[in-house]
């Protein structure tokens, strides 16, 4: 049974951003939200909570840290200490609040574009300044059937930024919008740079459960003693199980230094965790892996459809199958649509994609497409894109 529903059915019944930001004639393939049905254990847990009236403030319980630690151990061999896990509303809040603990006003924070657009906002909200160290692109034109990473961190650029005063890196692993799963050796090298300069790496790992079968995810905090001492990880069940609106994320440390940062968070950061998000996250991490396996199989199929069909729909478009998640990074610079092809496509094809420029200067002429949908919806999107030529 498919975990996806028709996007047109979803538009008729759902009220979230994906289905209400545009008129119903527009196919929504922009924001990172899937057309999926909830995993059975998650749905049952939420129904039970509502039925029992368990909808108050989040309780003081270790259940989610322990369940997540079990999940991380099974899935990645990551030995998480539940005592070094805290929760909050979402990864955005987690990023801002952790940055506030590890930087001083005006400090430089490295971000690696093209990257999730709110990263700039996180740094500014926390009182820092952004230092951009763009990822290094793969040489030559992308092969749509190539699932190797291609892109990589510019570690020499990070070293230069630290020499110039940067003491924090806001890492995205897996990297949105590229679906890049950073190589372990690069993460180890980044951790050693952090140790050399007494810097901190804040690693957003929200897409980690969505890594595809031909890639291996490495949690940053498993990358040696330097990573343990100089890192904090942020994650959530929200992307993998489509639970963004329930509001729960985790902040994970691995050292006494990190314990100090986490214990120093304002009490309201933890208290604002949504109890329904907490409930849903426990069910997802504890009992949701069979559903996740079905989801990943569907996403792998869609990833392949894009590789096979995009060149016919949009000759000249560049695409490399992502190693993680359900987001496709489309290089549309060869088409005569200027710096913002997403604007052209919504006007000509009634398809809403994310504007590549929002992901930083390397995103000019690009667009991000969400294939977290049924194959039927994806093929409808491709047919509409073809009509824009």
Q: Is the pLDDT of residue 356 over 90?
A: yes
Instruction: Name the percent of the chain lying above pLDDT 90.
Output: 96
pLDDT score, position 139: 80
For 186-202, write each residue's pLDDT tens digit: 999 999 999 999 999 99
- Residue pLDDT, tens place only, 168-180: 999 999 999 999 9
DSSP state of 169: E
Cβ-contact 220, 191 below 8 angstroms: yes
In angstroms, the CA 378 to CA 344 distance is 19
**pLDDT above 70 for 44:** yes
Residue 192: per-residue pLDDT: 98
Q: What is the mean pLDDT of residues 138-142?
A: 76
Question: Does pLDDT of 216 surpass 90?
Answer: yes
Instruction: Give the position of tokens 């088409």.
Output: 335
Residue 147 has pLDDT above 80, yes or no: no
Q: Is the peptide bond before 222 cis (omega within 30 degrees of 0)?
A: no
| Band of residue 136 on the pLDDT scale cut at 50, 70, 90 | very high
Could you tell me the two tokens for 213?
């079968």
Least confident of 96-110, 135-149, 346-360: 135-149
d(CA 333, CA 348): 17
CA atoms in the 13 A half-sphere facing the CB of 202 = 29
Output the pTM of the full model: 0.97
Q: By mean pLDDT, which of 119-128, 146-155, 171-180, 295-304 is the weakest? A: 146-155
Confidence grade of residue 149 (pLDDT, cut at 50, 70, 90):
low
Query: What's the pLDDT tens digit per position in 284-336?
Result: 999 999 999 999 999 999 999 999 999 999 999 999 999 999 999 999 999 99
At residue 217, what are phi and psi to the nearest 5 degrees? -85, 135
């Amino acid at each position: 049974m498919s975990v996806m529903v028709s996007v047109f059915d979803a538009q008729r019944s759902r009220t979230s951003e994906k289905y209400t930001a545009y008129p119903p004639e527009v196919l929504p393939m922009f924001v990172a939200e899937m057309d999926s049905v909830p995993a059975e254990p998650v749905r049952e847990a939420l129904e039970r909570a509502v039925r029992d009236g368990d909808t108050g403030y989040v309780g003081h319980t270790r259940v989610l840290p322990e369940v997540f630690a079990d999940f991380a151990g099974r899935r990645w061999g990551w030995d998480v200490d539940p005592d070094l896990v805290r929760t909050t509303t979402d990864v955005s809040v987690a990023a801002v609040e952790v940055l506030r603990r590890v930087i001083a006003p005006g400090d430089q924070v490295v971000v690696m574009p093209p990257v999730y657009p709110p990263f700039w906002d996180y740094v500014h909200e926390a009182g820092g300044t952004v230092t951009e160290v763009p990822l290094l692109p793969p040489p030559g034109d992308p092969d749509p059937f190539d699932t190797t990473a291609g892109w990589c961190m510019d570690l020499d650029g990070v070293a230069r930024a630290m020499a110039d005063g940067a003491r924090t890196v806001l890492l995205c692993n897996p990297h949105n919008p590229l679906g890049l799963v950073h190589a372990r050796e690069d993460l180890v090298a980044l951790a050693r740079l952090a140790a050399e300069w007494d810097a901190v790496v804040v690693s957003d790992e929200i897409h980690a459960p969505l890594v595809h079968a031909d890639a291996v995810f490495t949690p940053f905090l498993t990358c040696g003693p330097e990573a343990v001492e100089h890192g904090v990880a942020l994650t959530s069940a929200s992307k993998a199980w489509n639970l963004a609106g329930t509001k729960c994320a985790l902040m994970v440390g691995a050292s006494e230094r990190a314990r100090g940062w986490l214990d120093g968070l304002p009490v309201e950061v933890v208290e604002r965790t949504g109890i329904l998000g907490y409930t849903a996250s426990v069910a997802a991490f504890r009992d949701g892996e069979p559903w996740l396996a079905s989801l990943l199989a569907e996403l792998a199929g869609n990833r392949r459809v894009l590789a096979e069909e995009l060149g016919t729909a949009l000759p000249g478009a560049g695409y490399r199958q992502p190693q993680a998640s359900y987001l496709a990074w489309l290089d549309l610079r060869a088409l005569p649509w200027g710096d913002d092809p997403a604007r052209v496509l919504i006007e000509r094809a009634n398809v809403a994609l994310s504007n590549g420029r929002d992901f930083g200067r390397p995103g000019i002429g690009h667009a991000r497409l969400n294939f977290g949908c049924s194959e039927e919806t994806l093929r409808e999107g491709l047919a509409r894109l073809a009509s824009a030529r």
